[in-house]
Amino acid sequence: MTTTLALTGSPLWYASRAGGTLALVLLTATVVLGIASGGRVVPRRIGRFEIGLLHRNLSLLTLVFLGMHVVTAVLDPFVRLSWAVSVVPFGASYRPLWLGLGTAALDLLLAVLVTSALRHRLGVRSWKAVHWLAYAAWPLALFHSAGTGTDTRLPLQLWLYAACLATVIAAVWWRLAKAGPGHVAGRLTAAVAATAVPVVLTAFLAAGPLQPGWSQRAALTPVVLIGGGR
């Protein structure tokens, strides 16, 4: 079963999976650069502005691949998604919860994009407040990927997710280790999240997508799912 899963489907489906996977990798890189640039550490070999620029450019590239991922997913005849699914979370007929996490992540990223473009008019406080949402978008995207992806059962895909996770978690701990005093609540939240996300993701993968019958269970609504859904 595992070896045959990727062999059917339209070119759009392949494009969508490739686009989603690249978007996740780019989003991971963007988040890591964001974490690295916010701290007090001054890099020695490259300029701080270069990290900032890379962060910005990779974020835009993420959105390009994300656009491709969403458009090809909606156009693909197999799952029959409506265009509304790309912006309104949890309304899809196909894997509503897991797809909805992707939609929610996209909405957050769009909010981050718009406020960043208008940041000089909004002022730092409002811009930053929205920018923090990007931290929420990343785990949402990761759970969306693991929960809805056809390729979640492929070892290579799993290694990729593990690498993305490890990079972000390492960046968070690095930043926490270098952080000064103050912002206790913020640092505590970051530490708890950095501990919880890998644990929850591992448990989720073991109980969900890596068990037989996931495609039936993933199609259910959230309520049935929590109840075990057999």
Partner 1 sequence: MNPANRAKTLRIDRIACTGQGLCGELLPELIDLDEWGYPIVKDRSVPDHLRAHARRAAAACPLLALHLDADRT
Interface contacts to ligand HEM, rule CB under 6 A: 16-17, 20-21, 23-24, 27, 66, 69-70, 73-74, 79, 81, 85-86, 99, 102-103, 105-106, 109, 137, 141, 144-145, 148-152, 157
Amino acid type, 112: V
Does position 118 bind partner 1 by CB under 8 A? no
State the nearest-atom distance from the C-beta of 134 to partner 1, in Å: 14
Under 8 Å CB-to-CB from 214, ≥6 apart: which residues?
Answer: 208
Does position 8 bind partner 1 by CB under 8 A? no
Does position 52 bind partner 1 by CB under 8 A? yes
When CB distances are held under 5 to 8 angstroms depending on the partner's kind, the choice from partner 1, ligand HEM, none that residue 119 binds is partner 1
Tokens 């991971």 -> residue? 28
Closer residue to ligand HEM in complex, CB, 50/215: 215
Planar angle of CA 37, 146, 189, nearest 5 degrees: 40
Closer residue to partner 1 in complex, CB, 45/230: 45
Q: Which of 9, 14, 22, 37 binds partner 1 (CB under 8 A)?
A: 37
Stretch of 119-127, 147-155, 174-182, 206-214 lying at the interface with partner 1 (CB under 8 A): 119-127
How crowded is residue 63: how many other Cβ atoms within 10 Å of its Cβ?
A: 19
Does position 44 bind partner 1 by CB under 8 A? no
Nearest to 116 by CA among 26, 30, 21: 30
Between CA 164 and CA 180 the distance in angstroms is: 26
When CB distances are held under 5 to 8 angstroms depending on the partner's kind, the choice from partner 1, ligand HEM, none that residue 190 binds is none
State the nearest-atom distance from the C-beta of 170 to ligand HEM, in Å: 19
Under 8 Å CB-to-CB from 194, ≥6 apart: which residues?
Answer: 169, 172, 173, 176
Phi-psi region of 80 (alpha: psi -120 to 50; beta: other; left: phi over 0): left
Burial of 227 (0-12, 13-18, 19+ CB in 10 A): exposed
Positions in the binding site for partner 1 (CB under 8 A): 37-38, 42, 47-49, 52-53, 119-120, 123-124, 127
